[in-house]
């Protein structure tokens, strides 16, 4: 399976700057997959004395990665008092060389150690460690570049990392990591030994109709009722899965996987069905290929159960409500659904006195 991802450097936390007053930060990032175009970018982030730079610093977008492919992602952060074009070109070319060499080695099915050794040979350093800070390996390389980096201004690298991650790993558990970069002692007259933490992430490009939100009757007075979300995620045995999230006391909690065969997000409501003295059940219609399937969460037990197929000819996500029509006067209102089947919009309803769905067609 091949999916598309966005990689980004999301936040840079400066615990100790390299310069006495401010570090002038320049960031380059690159990503490569064997036999695919390399994507690279460089950005100057200005002067910072310390603290968190929490805006997305750089983003590499719309990258196609198959389950059996390996992406090599690298970033380099340098303190340099100015950002002339020669330096920025040198920086981005270095990042590209790292990722392209790593991707080639990964395409040859080399081990992580083999990939790191190939990168080191290409840039003239020892083998580059993958999966965390590689700053200590890069320091000698940057020392050779002092024609570009001026030591009198405390110029020098403050963060460097190379990561290897497969498409299968990305699909199963999206990567969001923080790398800790402890530098070397800066020259006399400069600041502290630099210490940076860098957060980066790899996220799937979200599918259309990716999530649905509702407010439920859960909650403890005087707190407001809870929020419930049903989200279509990349993952699971078939590549997509429908997951229930709940917000309790301002904290979002990931709940169970409802469906591993969903192909779009679901329509979800809280109905008045369910045993007495319990909050009403959650009712959900999920699109699974051309099937629209009814799922119910019994809120007396908190478990989801798969119900009947409502339509086997669906061509779009359904919409669900509970109406005020009743099969018998003492029963809850019927469930009503609208489903697109080709060019026809079809109304389904479930008689609350029956266990199956009945069908009424509305012609366009």
The burial class, CB within 10 Å (0-12 / 13-18 / 19+), for 156 is buried
* Residue 259, beta-bridge partner list: 242
User: Which structure tokens are listed for 248?
Assistant: 């309790």
pLDDT at 180: 96
pLDDT at 364: 28
CA distance 239 to 259: 11
DSSP string covering 250-308: TEEEEEEEEESS-SS--EEEE-S-SSTTSPPPEEEEEEETTEEEEEEEETTTTEEEEEE
Query: CA nearest 141: which of 76, 74, 73?
Result: 76
pLDDT at 99: 97
Please indicate, yes or no, whether residues 308 and 279 belong to a single structural domain of this protein. yes
CA distance 157 to 94: 13
Which CATH number fits the domain that encloses residue 61? Answer: 2.60.40.150
Which CATH number fits the domain that encloses residue 309? Answer: 2.120.10.70
pLDDT at 212: 83
Q: Which helix (H) or strand (E) holds 112?
A: helix 112-123
Q: Which helix (H) or strand (E) holds 199?
A: strand 195-204
Please indicate, yes or no, whether residues 242 and 198 belong to a single structural domain of this protein. no
Distances, alpha carbon 50 to alpha carbons 78, 149, 177, 311, in Å: 14, 21, 20, 58
Mean pLDDT, each 10-residue run in order, the chain (364 residues) = 82 90 92 93 90 78 88 94 82 94 95 96 93 87 59 80 90 77 82 90 66 74 71 78 85 89 89 76 92 91 92 90 73 85 88 58 35
pLDDT at 169: 84
Please indicate, yes or no, whether residues 82 and 160 belong to a single structural domain of this protein. yes
pLDDT at 363: 36
Please indicate, yes or no, whether residues 169 and 299 belong to a single structural domain of this protein. no
Query: CA nearest 319: which of 268, 270, 357, 264?
Result: 268
The burial class, CB within 10 Å (0-12 / 13-18 / 19+), for 150 is middle
Please indicate, yes or no, whether residues 265 and 152 belong to a single structural domain of this protein. no
Instruction: Print the domain residue range for 239.
Output: 211-360
CA distance 182 to 15: 10
pLDDT at 361: 38
């Amino acid at each position: 399976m091949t999916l598309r991802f966005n990689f980004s450097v999301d936040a840079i936390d400066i615990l100790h700057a390299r310069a006495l007053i401010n570090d002038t930060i320049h960031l380059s990032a690159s990503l490569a997959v064997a036999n695919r175009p390399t994507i690279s970018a460089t950005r100057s982030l200005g002067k910072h004395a310390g603290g968190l730079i929490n805006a997305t610093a750089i983003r590499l977008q719309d990258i196609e990665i198959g389950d059996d492919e390996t992406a090599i992602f690298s970033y380099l952060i340098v303190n340099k008092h100015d950002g002339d074009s020669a330096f920025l070109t040198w920086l981005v070319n270095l990042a590209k060389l790292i990722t392209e060499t790593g991707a080639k080695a990964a395409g040859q099915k080399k081990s992580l150690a083999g990939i790191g050794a190939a990168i080191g040979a290409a840039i003239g350093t020892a083998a580059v460690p993958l999966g965390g800070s590689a700053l200590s390996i890069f320091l000698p390389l940057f020392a050779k570049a002092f024609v570009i980096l001026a030591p009198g201004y405390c110029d020098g690298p403050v963060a460097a990392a190379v990561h290897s991650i497969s498409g299968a790993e990305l699909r199963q558990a999206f990567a969001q990591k923080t790398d800790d970069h402890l530098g070397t002692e800066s020259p006399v007259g400069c600041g502290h030994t630099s210490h940076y933490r860098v957060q980066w992430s790899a996220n799937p490009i979200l599918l259309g109709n990716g999530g649905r939100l509702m407010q439920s009757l859960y909650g403890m007075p005087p707190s407001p009722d809870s929020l419930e979300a049903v989200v279509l995620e990349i993952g699971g045995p078939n590549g997509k899965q429908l997951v229930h999230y709940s917000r309790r006391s301002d904290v979002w909690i990931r709940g169970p996987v409802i469906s591993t065969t969903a192909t779009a997000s679901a329509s979800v409501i809280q109905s008045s069905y369910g045993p007495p003295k319990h909050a009403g059940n959650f009712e959900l219609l999920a699109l699974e290929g051309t099937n629209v399937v009814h799922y119910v969460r019994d809120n007396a037990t908190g478990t989801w159960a798969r119900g009947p197929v409502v339509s086997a000819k669906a061509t779009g996500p359904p919409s669900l409500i509970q109406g005020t029509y009743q099969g018998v006067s003492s029963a809850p209102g019927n469930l009503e659904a609208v489903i697109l089947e080709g060019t026809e919009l079809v109304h389904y309803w479930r008689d609350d006195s029956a266990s199956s769905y009945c069908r009424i067609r509305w012609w366009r």
